[in-house]
Amino acid sequence: MKIGILAVQGAFIEHEKMLSTLGVSHFEIRQPKDISTSFDGLILPGGESTVMGKLLHELNLFLPLKEAILNDVPVFGTCAGLILLSQTLTNSTTTHFGTLPVSTKRNAYGRQLGSFQTTQHFERIGQVPMTFIRAPYIEEVSDGVDILATVDHHIVAVQYKKQLATAFHPELTSNTSVHEYFLSMI
């Protein structure tokens, strides 16, 4: 198994460390030639979604990655990765990949000072530590989207077919269960 990690901005190194802990082969996606490498799954890390969206287009990564997602390559988006996947952003006119049929609110918990940690139930896993940093949350899901976790009545994790998305950063904890769940989807 080999996982490609978008590495143009954000918390990609933390995902690499998590996959290394699990003994899973991975590589960084920084330019189109990197996508010519065969991969079984894709991680879209947290970071700044506006910058990531801009770089995806400037580096000619947007269309090949969207095509991979549409061709059912399993994808895991965390925080900004959730925003990149979301079909609609309720407080922005921008849409990036738009492959995940949810409506997401950017910076829903406020600015940096609104960052927090909690432990909550995650369907199919159990209790999971969750780190939120300028995090979004999902306001609405379409049919076929499984809600996997909520915090204070806000949706913070979903699965749609082979797309997994979290508003929090599981890569910033020592708990590997969410990454293990993603790998089980492959």
Element (H, E) at 149: strand 146-151
To the query of whether residue 48 is one of the catalytic residues in this protein, the response is no
Q: Convert 59-126 into a string of H (helix), E (strand) and C (coil).
A: CCCHHHHHHHHHCCCCEEEECHHHHHHEEEECCCCCCCCCCEEEEEECCCCCCHHHCEEEEEEECCCE
**Which one of the listed residues 15, 96, 169, 179 is annotated catalytic?**
169
**Which one of the listed residues 14, 96, 171, 179 is annotated catalytic?**
171
**Which one of the listed residues 15, 26, 79, 179 is annotated catalytic?**
79
To the query of whether residue 123 is one of the catalytic residues in this protein, the response is no
To the query of whether residue 153 is one of the catalytic residues in this protein, the response is no
Tell me the C-alpha distance between 88 and 97, whole Å.
10
Q: Which residue has the tokens 């190194």?
A: 13
Phi/psi at 11 (nearest 5 deg)?
-90, 45
Enumerate the active-site residues: 79, 169, 171
